[in-house]
Amino acid sequence: MTGEAIPGPDGLLRCPWGLSTEDYVAYHDEEWGRPVHGDDALFERLCLEAFQSGLSWITILRRREGFRKAFSGFRIADVARFTEADRERLLADEGIIRNRAKVDATLANAKLLATWSTGELDALIWSHAPDRATRSAPRTLAEVPAVTDESTALSKALKKRGLRFIGPTTAYALMQACGLVDDHLKGCVARGGE
């Protein structure tokens, strides 16, 4: 495999990872790289990317509904009210990744974000979106970075505001998933504007 866009069963070109499992096809075609706005929606993506750290994204994708159920749909105001009993429930929940540090970071981040103004998280994250006109479409997977100057700046900005478990690599994965950047390969059916 050259890492270039390849034809799927329907003959349309896609990023190779988008065809690696059935679960990825819809996620690749309909979600990844599409703009996401709203504090709760971005909180969900931020949390899921943090839970993915050190794991395969497919592991998180297959448990996403379990995460949504366990974390009250990732509504910041609701998660911010979670108690120690909720924390223990989460650490025993087999429908999610039961990593103590990641659960604690999610709860702490929700409590912090509940003190922010509506739209503040959205504005902060999107203020780090690079100018799409300056970025050409990657031709191969090897041309897709894991970290950029923008993701490093986003990570620093979020940490400076008190958020936890969001390093530059996690920040870049968030930027990709939420459409701040379009890393679909050249020729991919899901690439915006091409």
- State the catalytic residue, choosing from 17, 31, 57, 116: 57
187 Rama class: left (phi>0) / alpha (psi -120 to 50) / beta: left
> Known catalytic residue: 49?
yes
**Cα dihedral: 27, 32, 36, 40 (round 10):** 60
State how far the Cα of 167 lies from the Cα of 182, in Å rounded to an integer: 20
- State the catalytic residue, choosing from 27, 31, 116, 143: 27
- State the catalytic residue, choosing from 4, 32, 44, 49: 49
> Known catalytic residue: 27?
yes
Question: Could you tell me which residues come within 8 angstroms of residue 80 by beta carbon, excluding any fewer than 6 positions away?
Answer: 110, 111, 113, 114
The catalytic site residues sit at 27, 49, 57
